[in-house]
Structure formats: structure tokens, C-alpha cells
Amino acid sequence: MSGATDSPAGHRMETAFASDIGARHEQQDAVTVRASPDGRRALLAVADGMGGHAAGAWASRTAIAAVEAHWDACNGTPARPARWLESTARAAHEALRAEITDDIAPPGTTLVLLLVSEGEAWWVHCGDSRLLHFRGPRLIERTRDHSRVQELFDAGLIREEEMATHPEQNHLLAALGMPGGLRLENGHGRLAPDSAFLLCTDGFWEQVKPDEMAGLLLADDLPATLEDAVQVAARRGGPRGDNIAVAAWRAAPPQGLYRLRGGSFLPLILVGGLLLLAVLAILLWPVGGA
């Protein structure tokens, strides 16, 4: 699913989102993408619910519904983006708390929000659903998980690639709906012509590496490539695979050197290696005459 809009200034933005139930019996991840009526702003949100029976699905969908209600209430034109994102996340948290009657094992959800508006981007998150910010093939930054494995990584006790498979990977330290207050972290960045963002639940980032994410964000057909990517993640997850939800935003369809054709889902390290081999072949090719 996708959308593309041109702002009055001629700047183009493209969005897409996809999800997969994985090997679970119920989809507890939720995702939404919205655009303002004038095409100048976009909102992306991803949530990963937790709780027995139908509680996790209820939590993530309730949070996303609260986000969409706030977007509609301001007609997609929040006056103070950073403050609006935080108030939206708090409204989603309060919507959950209003319905929760058992604090011994309450349902909850992660949440990551991205608001893009005319050359700038703001985001806020809670839990271990991630936002990754790319410039072309380069990963600029990712949000810091509110989890035990993030603490272990920060302390230098495990490598980043070990986070996805660590026994404590599901040990969250913060989530919407939990008693005792809400923990939020926010970020901000200015956009470049090759800026792109990917928001995803842990069912995606556990199976798909950042260089692969960069590759799919550079594909010609973003919606189709994102759909392919969630299916790849689901297959890699196997019989114990998690739910998956992902949303993407990019400034414009990529041009030139980094463009991947045909919805290719390739690691950028592979693309870079092929380009390097081509250059070396040209430089080392023997010139005629002996």
C-alpha cells in the first residue's frame, strides 16, 4: 500500500507500508500512513501490541486509532510538530490506560511516530519498534530501543547483530499502557534530496539488516519492494516468526547511481561490491600493444 504526493513547491514525497502475520495466530502489529490535504506533510506510525489472547491486537489498534484521530483533529497540519507528536503519543497511552483494569499483566504496545513537513522530520518512540533514517545508501541513525538488550549493547556486552537473537530480546523496559508513567524519546532532522525513513516492529528488524533496508528504500517500486520485504522477513522467521509491520517514507524516487530497478531487494554492500569490481576491471584491463 502506498501513496505519493507533490507539494505546491514541487517537492515529491513517497510513502508505503506493509504487514504480515508471520507464524503467529493473530496480527498484533498495526501501521498507518496519512498525508495532509495539501500534500506538504505526512504522518507514519507503527505499533507492536503485547498481551495474551486479543489484548495485544487491541492495544496496538487502539494506539493507532488515537494517532489517526489526532491527525484528523488538526486536519493534518500540526502547528508545533515536536510538541504535537509527544501529545499524540500521550493521548494513545491515555486511551489504553482508560480501558485497562488489571495492572498485574496489562496489555500494552510499542509506538513509533514520524512526522515529515517541508524539509524537516520529527519523530517520537516508546519501546523497541524502530525508526531508521537513511541518506541514500547510508544509515544516519536509528532510535534507541527501550529494552534489556539495548542496555546490554550500550554497555558493550553484546554486539548489535546479537540483539535480535538474544534470550532477553523480548524484555521491554517501556511501552504504552504500562502503569507508572510514560517514557518517550524524540528526534529531529533536516531533509536532503536522498532522505528516507523506515519504521518497523521487531519482527522486521530481527530478520532484515540495515543494508538490506537501504536497498529496498532505493528500489524503483517502493510499495512492491516493501511487500516483498515483509514476506522475506516472515520466511526468515520460520515457524516461530513474529508479526511484522513496516512503513517507509522517502523524499522522491531515487535517481542515478543508487537506483535499483525492478523492486530489487538487495543488500547495499553487495551493490557497492559489484560497482567496485566493475571499476577495477576497467582500470586493470590491458591496453593494446606489446
Q: What is the pLDDT of residues 79-115, one digit of tens each?
A: 999 999 999 999 999 999 999 988 878 899 999 999 9
Query: Does residue 290 form part of some domain?
Result: no
Q: Which range (2-11, 48-57, 150-159, 232-241) has the least confidence?
A: 2-11
Query: Does residue 71 form part of some domain?
Result: yes
Q: What is the pLDDT of residues 46-76, one digit of tens each?
A: 999 998 657 999 999 999 999 999 999 999 9
CATH of the domain at 70: 3.60.40.10
Query: Does residue 111 form part of some domain?
Result: yes
Q: Rounded CA gap, 35 and 256, in Å?
A: 27
Q: Are strands 41-50 and 29-35 parallel, antiparallel or unpaired?
A: antiparallel
Query: Does residue 289 form part of some domain?
Result: no
Instruction: Using alpha carbons, list the distances in angstroms from residue 171 to 106, 164, 168.
Output: 15, 12, 5
What is the mean pLDDT of the segment spanning 8-31? 86
State the residue range of the domain holding 186.
2-284
pTM: 0.85
What is the tally of structural domains in the chain?
1
